[in-house]
Homo-oligomer: A and B are copies of this chain.
Amino acid sequence: MAKGPGPAGHHPSGHPGAGGGAMPASTAQAPGFPEGFLDDFLPRSLAKGHVLSTPSHPLNQVFIVRSGRLKVYLANDTREISLAILEAGDLFSTHTPTYVRTLEATELWVIDIGQFARKLAAQPAVSPLMMRVLGRILSNAIILVEDLAFRDVPARLARFLIRQAEQRGVTEAEGCLLPLNLGTEDIACLLGTTRQSVSSLINQWQREGLLTRRGRHSLLIHDAQALVARSLTSN
């Protein structure tokens, strides 16, 4: 979602958690950022599970993901809901009322938000890029609202799977193999539902022959059409 620059070709369909064509960290800095733009950014390495921002203690920073993965989420006493999973090349600002936590060892480029603003002013060419990035994040938040307000759980899950398939699916003999690096619980968080609901839905669809579990962290989708059908608002 907060996909860095790149082939900004297709419409903002991305559901949270989509990293798109993983681009090498080395080139992640190139597109859009003028040479030397990253110079004032502070490199920072974080261990897995590190929480680097909370709604109550926001750090006013902007960061770019160099490697690793982070989860942007909201939390309750009893539940979490993910807004996005950031990957290499993604950009995010911590001055939103969210939690941000590393899912694995992660390297960032960090900069103070005020300083970032000054850099922007000095480098006008970067502004349109920022507009696009923020706009995309906003679009995704809006899509999430739409999901929560209008769609039932099966529709949300189906749509999620379709998106994943479009973005990282690998076509195969039996269908489309998609390697989610997420557990059932993680998917539930992304969709704003519970582990149990996701689990039983996937198994039900498995029995109906729509898809097959392939090991712990990947699915083989046989009938994408049927998924599309289920992704349309049911009642």
Contacts and interface: CB of A to CB of B under 8 A. Distances in A.
A200 interface: no
A131 B128 contact: no
Interface stretch (A78-86, A100-108, A161-169, A178-186): A78-86
Interface in A130-145: 130-131, 134-135, 137-139, 141-145
B149 A97 contact: no
Contacts of A139: 96-97
B134 A127 contact: no
Contacts of A234: 76-78
A233 B79 CA distance: 12
Contacts of A20: none
A181 to B, nearest CB: 23
Given A79-B150, A144-B145, 7 more contacts: A12-B97, A79-B149, A95-B135, A96-B139, A124-B127, A141-B145, A145-B148
Given A96-B139, A97-B139, A137-B138, A131 B145 contact: no
A42 interface: no
A146 interface: yes
Given A149-B192, A150-B74, A124 B120 contact: yes
Interface of A is mostly: helix
A148 B150 contact: no
A121 B131 contact: no
A81 B131 contact: no
A226 B83 CA distance: 31
A233 B12 CA distance: 35
Nearest to A234: B76
Interface string A10-53: 00100001000000000000000000000000000000000000
